[in-house]
Structure 1
Amino acid sequence: MSERITGHTELIGLMAYPIRHSGSPAMQNEAFAKLGYDYAYLAFEVGADEIEDAVKAIRTLKMRGSNVSMPNKTLVGQYLDELSPAAEMCGAVNTIVNDHGHLTGHITDGIGFMAALKDNNIDAIGKKMTIVGAGGAATAIEIQAALDGVGEIVIFNRKDEFWDRAVSTVEKINTRTSSHAVLYDLADLDQLKKEMADSYIFVNATGVGMKPLEGQSVVPDKSYFRLELIVVDVPYSPLETAMRSMAKEVGCRTMNGLGMMLFQGSAAFELWTGEPMPIEHMKEILNIRYGD
């Protein structure tokens, strides 16, 4: 890194809290170095009460842009100049591009999730997906899955501050795509078990399983899983969550969230540079294994 930092090096950030666990800085900086881009990517612990000032810093420091993660994805859009159509539909942003002071918000999480499935030879098109979550990443996955042609999307969420967002997501999927979506309260565990019983794929798209919720699971016990079910845990730190461990005991094929991180990062990389990330190089250099 010290050999390529110059007076012309531009800064790209990652703004979230917590974020020190993230593999994105190593991934993005390696990709920049591989392709010769004079950028440096750093993680900044920025919470919801600081995100407005952080966006001002992007302008002031003339940063090329930033990634945004929890808890800022659904908050940051109000401080930007423009949203991409997908970001507007999702009501969330995970990538900011600074074009000479004009800040545009994009969402690449759903693209990354679907690309990771494809890279793992998992074809959910026309099939049933049950997913837990209604935050920024979850919404992006749900909407992109619907746009790509997943046949049925069953969403579970607590009746918390994201419930209304989930209601809106279901409405958008049912009116703007060919997919069919329905929403249930996560407290209804009998319904959760029923929906998982005939799903092709089950996804935890919440932060449950990662810091500070390590050791916890949105699924109470392994009786909810069956051998044929594909189980994806979006959290990837730790790599082995309590939910994945239970699913593996039953014999389910599982994935962690590294693939989504890799491919959503590739989409962001392309927004900043205009060139795709060297995916296979990144897998080799960073020893990324996001399946079993």
Structure 2
Amino acid sequence: MKKLYAVIGDPIAHSMSPLMHNDLFQFYGIDAHYQALQVKEQALADAVRGLKAINISGFNITIPHKVAVMPLLDEIDPLAQAIGAVNTVVNKEGNLIGYNTDGSGYVRGLQNYLADLQDKKVLIIGAGGAARAIYFTMAHEGVKHIDLANRTAEKAASLAHDCPYDVITKALTLSEAEDNLASYDLIIQTTSIGMVPKTECEPISLHNLRETAFVSDIIYNPFETLFLKNSRLKGAGTQNGLDMFVLQGALAFEKWTGIFPDTERMKKIVEKQLGGA
């Protein structure tokens, strides 16, 4: 019998997860299908009960349901519990178990570019859901020094206060981050600033960026944000958000099937859908 998988969110028509996962099922000879399902906030509880009732094998959760889905599940992985958001669910013998592969996917992708990540001095720009997943996961992985910069420093301070892992963190305003940019080995941009259609914006000035730094932006549409372009022109190494998107999906696929998939294949599918690299 064909296994069923899904992604739920609102909106959902833009999701490229069905393209990635259905290609992987075919590539690995797995009799399964992955479907995008639009679920309104008020219908989330009914939707989760329905997915459980039809014995769905697993599903992903995207905006705006990553937090609200948690009390509807039977079990939550400890890291996902700490992050306070779930993006992947596994059905294990009728029990729905929630995980967060966003932060793990990000860190896994970053390790393809940077060695000795634990020893880097890191700046994360933003204090939203993506920043929280990345910050908590990096702290969990043993990164020792991670500062947080946000338009409202109080929100960054609140995020630092919530972190249950041993890490040295300062909460900064964006202007303070700009002034101290030269002290960071790795700068991670987690906001929506620079995303299509507002591509002519940057979250902070890069005038103090040193050329030995590495700059990562979780946006992948456009492939190179203005922030990344200007970082590259100053000599820094750069990475866009495609690795995070692909690897969070790869880790979900592994939890469902036991197979860690071909991530280059996944990346090419997304690049083609977006019109090429």
Counterpart of 1:113 (choices 102, 106, 116) is 106
1:209 paired residue number? 194
Alignment of 1:63-102 (within 5 A): 63-102=56-95
TM value normalised by structure 2: 0.85
> 1:243 matched to which residue of 2?
227
Note the C-alpha offset of 1:284. 6.0
1:136 alignment partner in structure 2: 129
Between the aligned partners of 1:157 and 1:46, the Cα distance in structure 2 is 31
Question: Would you say how many aligned residue pairs link Structure 1 and Structure 2?
Answer: 273
Which of 7, 13, 19 is residue 6 of structure 2 equivalent to? 13
Equivalence for 1:181 = 169
Aligned to 1:3: none
Matched, 1:265 2:253: no
Separation in 1, partners of 2:45, 2:118: 38
Structure 2 unmatched ranges of 5 or more = none
Equivalents in 2 of 1:20, 1:259: separation in Å? 21
Q: 1:28 aligned to 2:1? A: no
CA distance in 1, matches of 2:78, 2:266: 29
Distance 1:53 1:208 in 2: 34
Q: What percent identity do the matched residue pairs reach?
A: 34
Per the alignment, do residues 286 and 192 of structure 1 end up closer, same or farther by CA in structure 2, a change over 3 Å counting? closer
Q: Distance in 2 between matches of 1:183 and 1:117?
A: 23
Cα distance in 2 for partners of 1:146, 1:39 equals 36
Further displaced range: 244-253 or 196-205: 244-253
> How far, CA to CA, are the matches of 1:111 and 1:95 in structure 2?
12
Shift of 1:94: 0.9
Question: Unmatched 5+ residue regions in structure 1?
Answer: 1-7
Cα 1:285/1:240, change in 2 over 3 Å: closer
What residue in structure 2 maps to residue 171 of structure 1?
161
**8 A contact 1:155–1:182 mirrored in 2:** yes
1:197 partnered with 2:182 = yes
For residues 136 and 49 of structure 2, the distance between their equivalents in structure 1, rounded to whole angstroms, comes to: 29
Match status 1:256 vs 2:240: yes
The C-alpha deviation readout for 1:100-151, integer Å capped at 9, x for no partner, is 4321110111111111111224542211111123333221111111122222
In 2, are the aligned partners of 1:21 and 1:237 still within 8 Å (CA)? no
Q: Tell me, yes or no, if the aligned pair for 1:11 and 1:63 is still in contact at 8 Å.
A: yes
Q: Bigger shift: 16-25 or 73-82? A: 16-25
What secondary structure sits across from 1:231 in the alignment?
Answer: strand
The equivalences for 1:271-286 within 5 A come to 271-283=255-267
Q: Return the alpha-carbon distance in structure 1 between the equivalents of residues 201 and 46 of structure 2.
A: 34
1:188-226 deviations in whole A, cap 9, x for unaligned? 332121342211111112233335x63264524442533
- Give me the whole-angstrom Cα distance separating, in 2, the residues matched to 1:182 and 1:146: 14
Q: Match of 2:216?
A: 232
Instruction: Give distance in 1, aligned partners of 2:125 and 2:41.
Output: 22
Determine the C-alpha separation between the residues in 1 that align with 2:34 and 2:208: 40
